[in-house]
Amino acid sequence: MDEDDRARLAEFVTSRTPALMRVAYLLTGDRHAAEDLFQSALARTIPRWRALRHADPEGYLRTVMYREQVSWWRRLGRRRERALTGADEAVQPDPSGGTDVRLAMRAALRLLPPAQRTVLVLRYYEDLTETQVAEALGCTVGTVRSRTHRAVTRLRQLLPDVELLEVRR
């Protein structure tokens, strides 16, 4: 990698890290895991930087993050780890607008299985279509639909007082 490529890479990382870290956090539900996910994806992207610099390096990096997250939650599924927080934790109302809803939603999202959380992030935060999500995760559109349905159903159970948006088809 020559100096020009290094400068472009440094500029890209500096400018896009905050947005990519937000996506990584939403995918993992944990700040430290998000940092690990972003670093892992960046480590896989840097060797291909020369080929990507004129294309869409951010899109490539996001796809690497999505697929890396899929690999992680597949490994986690084999280990059967569970979150320590329970769904019965009380969320105190916050007078500053929708903060209490955001906190409740964040807590509920952390209780979802990683596969369902990932599909919700890609569909509703990243605003990808079902086809794009299926391509990013390497699964079928039917799988994306069923995971989305199950995730929204579970969120409605966990947050009965919160009005959730209807699932887009």
Residues 104 and 47 grouped into a single domain? no
Q: What pLDDT does 34 receive?
A: 92
Residues 61 and 120 grouped into a single domain? no
Q: What pLDDT does 42 receive?
A: 92
> Which structural domain, as residue segments, surrounds residue 108?
94-162
Residues 102 and 68 grouped into a single domain? no
Considering 31, 57, 80, which residue would you say is the last residue of a domain?
Answer: 80
> Total domain count for the chain?
2
Considering 24, 54, 80, which residue would you say is the last residue of a domain?
Answer: 80
Per-residue pLDDT of the chain (169 residues; tens, 9 = 90+): 788 888 888 998 999 999 999 999 988 888 999 999 999 999 998 888 888 766 788 888 899 999 898 887 676 655 555 555 555 555 665 456 677 778 888 888 889 999 999 999 899 888 999 999 999 889 999 999 999 999 999 999 988 887 765 444 4
Residues 17 and 74 grouped into a single domain? yes
Q: Is 141 inside any structural domain?
A: yes
Distance in angstroms (rounded) separating the CA atoms of residues 19 and 73: 22
The CATH number linked to 135 is 1.10.10.10
Instruction: Say if residues 93 and 142 touch (Cβ distance below 8 Å).
Output: no
pTM: 0.56
Q: What pLDDT does 35 receive?
A: 93
Query: Number of C-alpha atoms within 13 angstroms, CB side, residue 138?
Result: 10
Q: What pLDDT does 87 receive?
A: 52
Residues 10 and 36 grouped into a single domain? yes
Considering 80, 103, 121, which residue would you say is the last residue of a domain?
Answer: 80
Tell me the per-residue pLDDT of 49-97, one tens digit each, with 9 for 90 and over: 888 766 788 888 899 999 898 887 676 655 555 555 555 555 665 456 6
Q: What pLDDT does 169 receive?
A: 40
Residues 104 and 65 grouped into a single domain? no
